[in-house]
Amino acid sequence: MIELLEKGIALANHYGISVLLILSTIFLVRIILAAQGKWSEREKYYFEILKNLGNWRDSLSDRKDYFQQPGSVYDETYPQSTYYKKEGEKAADALSAVREQMSVARVFLSKKSIAILEELINEHWYISEHGAMNAADYLDSTHDIVDKAYRSILTDASKDLKRSRYLNIVKQVLSKD
């Protein structure tokens, strides 16, 4: 760090302070552009994660509608319907996609988002293996944890987007000068 400061002072002494300011501006613009490139990757992963969590949540919600009448949780015909099975496949595909995306998303998503996704996967496993007494209980419990994860990651993505907006403002200010 001291070497960098010494080089900056030497450049300022040799070329003048205006050159140092120009070089600093160029350096700042490069940092901003690199941060924006990272945001586009982050945005892509947030979009995919949120899309799949939304599909999973919607599928759970649609299948929950089958069990609205009292005593219907014991009716074995509901899970056999074509629509119910189709929605189950949609949920399985979304869960699989979230698991696949987590490996690479660790690079781009915040630590909080990664922790939320890991907690979701662990809680889902527990519910599906030990926590649910019947299909309706599974759907209710799983819907709650997926919805919680969706909302948390959406909030986290919004915070990241705000930071990206600030970077855009700085970039526009610097490019006009």
% of the chain with per-residue pLDDT over 90: 23
* 142's tokens: 């799983």
pLDDT at 8: 65
The answer to whether the predicted template modeling score (pTM) of the entire model surpasses 0.75 is no
Convert the pLDDT of each residue in 47-102 to its tens digit.
889 999 999 999 998 888 776 655 555 556 666 778 878 988 999 999 999 988 88
Helix axes 111-126, 82-108, angle to 10 degrees: 150
In three-state form (DSSP H/G/I as H, E/B as E, the rest C), the secondary structure along 120-166 is HHHHHHHHHHHHCCCHHHHHHHHHHHHHHHHHHHHHHHHHHHHHHHH
**Boundaries of every domain in the chain:** 37-175
